[in-house]
Amino acid sequence: MKQAAAGFVGGFSYHDRMAGLPLHDEQGTRERPFDLTIAFDPLKIDAALRKLGVAPWRLPRPVLAVFLGVRDAQRAYVLTEDGERGLGERLSLGDAAAQRGIPIVLPKAPFAAEARVSYAGVVAASASRRRALAEAIGGDAGLAGSLVWSEAALGWTARWRLAWRGRDYRWRITGVSFDDAFRDALDHAAAILSGHGG
């Protein structure tokens, strides 16, 4: 199937990420960043999945409420939708979720304060507390994690927990960028929520 992947494509397009900005310095069109968007033929993809013995993960998909405690070189905080800290992490997490087709929601700062969602308590919370917190902010499942900067590992160490359909899953990754930590988290979450792995 990998060799025949082009046959699954229905169409593609390029988007100039600097559209509307004039050329500057020595920057020509060959140096401008573009996004490639590929549209796959759903019927062909579904047929390929059936050949592999796998069912497609249909919409609507569960909304994943993400509760993340972050400790960088200076401080610890909880990542929120509207907090002062964590803009880069919010954007990266949102990108990773969009690329995987997983709707996510983060707590708002006032809710996190009122519900006493703390850096230390995020991962330690019981499955029932994570479920209650997730439901309170519109999630179907709660992904709880910690993201800690490690000088020794020259990267971030992430620990994750996700309770789904009576099981509590745990995993970790270390020595990575926070982009890689989020991609790893959402790859695992997608496998668990879709019933295609754990």
- State pLDDT tens for residues 9-42: 999 999 988 888 776 666 555 677 889 999 999 9
The DSSP annotation for 20-38 comes to TSPP-TT--GGGS-EEEEE
Report the residue count for the chain. Answer: 198
pTM for the predicted model, two decimal places: 0.82
Q: Is the predicted pLDDT of residue 193 greater than 90, yes or no?
A: yes
Report residue 16: phi and psi, to 5°. -75, 115
- What is the distance between the alpha carbons of residues 142 and 37, in angstroms, rounded to a whole number? 30
- State pLDDT tens for residues 72-130: 988 999 999 999 999 999 999 999 999 999 999 999 999 999 999 999 898 889 999 99
pLDDT for 101: 95
Across 82-109, b (16+ Cβ under 10 Å) vs e yields ebebbeebbebbeebbeebebebbbbeb
Cis peptide, bond prior to residue 60, ω within 30 of zero: yes
Residues 64-194, CATH architecture: 3-Layer(aba) Sandwich (3.40)
- What is the distance between the alpha carbons of residues 175 and 190, in angstroms, rounded to a whole number? 22
- What is the distance between the alpha carbons of residues 97 and 186, in angstroms, rounded to a whole number? 7
- State pLDDT tens for residues 48-76: 989 988 888 989 999 999 999 999 988 99
Domain(s) of CATH 3.40.50: residues in the chain: 64-194
pLDDT for 198: 67
43 band by pLDDT with thresholds 50, 70 and 90: very high
Report which secondary-structure segment, H or E, holds 176. strand 167-176
